[in-house]
Amino acid sequence: MSGARVPVVAYLDIDTDDPHLTGWECDHCGAVFLDRRVACPSCTSADLTARRLADEGTVHAWTIVHRAPANVRTPFVAAIVGLDGGGIVKANLVGIDADPAAVYCGQRVRLATYPVGVDSAGTEAIGFGFEVEA
Amino acid sequence: MAGDVWVVGAAMTKFGRYPDREAVHLGGEAARDALADAGLSIRDVGAVVAGCMIEPNMAGQLVLRQIGQTGAPIYNVVNGCATGGTAVRTAVMAVKAGECDVALAVGMEKMGKAGLLGVSTRRSDAPFEPSGPYGAVMPLEGVLGTNLMPGWFGMTGSEYAYQHDGVGFEQFAKVAEKNHAHSTLNPLAQYQKPFTLAEVMDAEMISYPNTLPMCSPTGDGAAAVVVVSGAKLRTLGLDQQARAVKIAASVITSDPYADGCDVRLDVNTLTRRAADQAYEAAGVGPEDLNLVELHDCFATAELCHYDNLRLCEPGGAGDFIDSGAPWRDGRTPVNVSGGLLSKGHPIAATGVSNVFEITTHLRGEAGARQIDGARVGMAHVLGGGVAGGWASVVHILEKAAV
């Protein structure tokens, strides 16, 4: 095992004791997106700055996926989470039952990170999801 | 009538499975049937617009290799599940621009049993290598939420249900009950099998709240329409003039910026804009529509579109389906063809087949499924890509007042 770790996507920063999501913010209109753009899709300014996104947020939309390709474990709770202060991400909700009675729009959630796979060189991929706030 | 554009020919293949035929054979058949319906030949066509989402490329040229390779200008268009509507819209533009008097729009698709769309299924133990705009090191389905279409539209439904009273699993299921019932009257539909509400709700859950009969199937098929200028229409026979259907509005929109629009599904804003622009252009309102063919890729989508297309009171889609209004004997019949859920959804054929369906009713030629006395109808499609981006196309058609 190499012991190396990589984030599952570039907007997850794991090179810290405090793993967190990052995004790009438009200096002019404040729009937030997860990848570097040529210019802001909202106001067309090219002045964009990278910044940390919040760990806490709210469920905007959700579903429970029962049928997926064979190598995907089902069922799982998939959601769109709006982060406090800007940024909207797609992720699994973890630590709750895959039951429509357990999840709702407006639910408060918090970022969690965990291993999601290992490659042939022993490098571990770190992914993220959201836990329901107690 | 001078500036107007008219549908004078329309045809579709039965939607279903054609393991022994290529997409361009289906497209060629639909195109030839639409031209015959118009009393015209491929030699009369000044612009061909072809839609094909999956393959082949250059579908328009390959269709003409099937039916008559005239050297006419060909525009191949792709716009997700709105590809067919985009083909019709482009043909209308060609005529409106004065580039030609006769344009042919043809949409075709051979999907086979493609299964779930929208996600890469490749997964290996090869060394992690960041790729794509987000630097993903592995397929993300089930790792970071879902990118599967049933999941997308399940989430859309969850938002609508949260925002509006009286909307839940049962209201979404009622949409599928209705469309499957409607399809029993349509011999061109891929499926003609009715389901009770209980059968819909008890069926295999694909992605909550969409069960199997609440998801459109994969399938094969094609549809075509022939549009002409008013000047050209006057040169055609009286029978063709009497059967002509006016394109009162032809509108396409894309999704404007909204927070999180890359991961969040705002299928509503662009659809509302398209509908509002179409009503304005046609000088009609939702209350004037005798029937609507809308993009029910999933049952949850249809319910949202009642609201987006202004068919119900704002927020009132639950009451609208509960009241029976979108049934074929209701106030505003929706998807009397069976819709995508049961007529089928060969991707690029869908938006053209919706125009065929409305045209056929306005002509009074829809047989057992005819909506009696139909004079005004709307055809809507919505397309989205797995990396984000949406297109919505709305046409309003009117029976000719000759």
Number of domains chain A contains: 1
For residues A24 and B220, give the distance between their C-alpha atoms in angstroms, rounded to a whole number.
42
pLDDT at B338: 98
Chain B segment 161-190 residues within 8 A of A by beta carbon are 162-163, 169
Digit-coded pLDDT (tens) for B92-120: 999 999 999 999 999 999 998 766 665 65
Which among B125, B131, B140, B143 is the top mutation candidate for probing chain A, defined by the most A β-carbons within 10 Å of its own β-carbon? B143
Residues of chain A with Cβ-Cβ distance to B155 below 8 Å are: 61-63, 78-80
Can you tell me the distance from the alpha carbon of A95 to that of B52, in angstroms, rounded to the nearest whole number? 43
Tell me which residue range forms the domain holding A71: 5-132
Q: Are the Cβ atoms of A88 and B259 closer than 8 angstroms? A: yes
Q: Is pLDDT above 90 for B266?
A: no
Check residue B114 and give its pLDDT.
67
**Residue B81 bears catalytic tag:** yes
Mean pLDDT on B159-183: 97
Tokens 């925002």 map to which residue? B163
**Chain A CB within 8 Å of residue B198 CB:** no
Report yes or no: B266 at the A interface, CB cutoff 8 Å: no
Check pLDDT > 90 for residue B122: no
pLDDT, position B260: 86
pTM: 0.96
Q: Which residue has the higher pLDDT, B265 or B230?
A: B230
Find the catalytic residue in B345, B361, B380, B395.
Answer: B345
| pLDDT one-digit tens code per residue, A39-55 | 999 999 999 999 999 99
User: Is the pLDDT higher at A71 or at B115?
Assistant: A71
User: Which residue among B136, B158, B259 places its CB closest to the CB of A8?
Assistant: B136
Q: Looking at chain B from residue 114 to 133, which residues have their Cβ under 8 Å from any Cβ of chain A?
A: 116, 119, 121, 123, 125-128, 130, 133
Per-residue pLDDT, B118: 57
On chain B, the residues whose CB falls within 8 A of the CB of A97 are none
The C-alpha of A10 sits at a distance from chain B's nearest C-alpha, in angstroms, of 5
3-state helix, strand, coil in chain A (%, to 5): 0, 50, 50
Asked if B264 has any chain A CB less than 8 Å from its own CB, the reply is yes
Nearest CB partner across the interface for B155, out of A42, A62, A69:
A62
Q: How far apart are CA B385 and CA A41, in angstroms?
A: 17
User: Residue B264's pLDDT band (boundaries 50, 70, 90)?
Assistant: confident
Kindly write down the DSSP assignment for every residue of B136-176, as one continuous string: BSS--TTTSS--SHHHHHHHHHHHHHHHSTT-SHHHHHHHH
- List chain B residues with CB under 8 Å of A104: 162
Tell me if chain B has a CB within 8 Å of the CB of A30. Answer: no
Put simply, the answer to whether A127 touches B143 (Cβ < 8 Å) is yes
DSSP B58-88: THHHHHHHHH------EEEE-BTBTHHHHHH
Nearest to B263 among A8, A70, A88 (CB): A88
Structure confidence at residue B347 (pLDDT): 97
CA B269 to centroid of chain Cα atoms: 18
| Amino acid in the structure at residue A28 | H
How far, in Å, are A38, B154, B258, B266, B272 from residue B254 at the CA level?
19, 21, 12, 11, 11
* Contact across the interface for B145 and A120, Cβ inside 8 Å: no
Cβ contacts (< 8 Å) between B116 and chain A: which residues?
Answer: 67-69
Question: In the predicted model, is pLDDT for residue B394 greater than 90?
Answer: yes
- Within 10 angstroms of residue B349's Cβ, the number of other Cβ atoms is 36
In this structure, what DSSP letter does residue B243 have? H
Q: CA-CA-CA-CA torsion for B166, B170, B172, B175, nearest 10 degrees?
A: -110
**Among all chains, which residue has been given the structure tokens 């268009």?**
B77
pLDDT (tens digit per residue) in A88-114 = 999 999 999 999 999 999 999 999 999
Q: Specify whether B304 is catalytic.
A: no
User: Among positive and negative, which fits the CA dihedral B330, B336, B341, B347?
Assistant: negative
pLDDT band at B287 (very low <50, low <70, confident <90, very high): very high
Q: Which two tokens stand for residue B308?
A: 């987006």
Q: How confident is the model at residue B386 (pLDDT cuts 50, 70, 90)?
A: confident
Confidence check: pLDDT of B125 > 90: no
Provide the β-strand partners of residue A52: A22
**CA–CA separation, A32 and A54 (whole Å):** 12
Measure B129 CA to nearest chain A CA, in Å.
Answer: 9
For residue B116, the model assigns a pLDDT of: 63
Cβ(B254)–Cβ(B389) under 8 Å?
yes
Q: Which of B81, B215, B304, B312 is catalytic?
A: B81
Classify burial at A97, counting beta carbons within 10 Å of its beta carbon; exposed 0-12, middle 13-18, buried 19 or more.
exposed
pLDDT of residue A2 exceeding 80: no
B2 has pLDDT over 70: no
Residue B385 confidence (pLDDT) above 90: no
Task: Give the confidence band of A70 by pLDDT, cuts at 50, 70, 90.
Answer: confident
pLDDT(B373) > 80: yes
**The token pair that represents B168 in the structure block:** 């839940």
Provide the 8-state DSSP code for A26. E
The reply to whether B263 touches chain A by the CB within 8 Å rule is yes
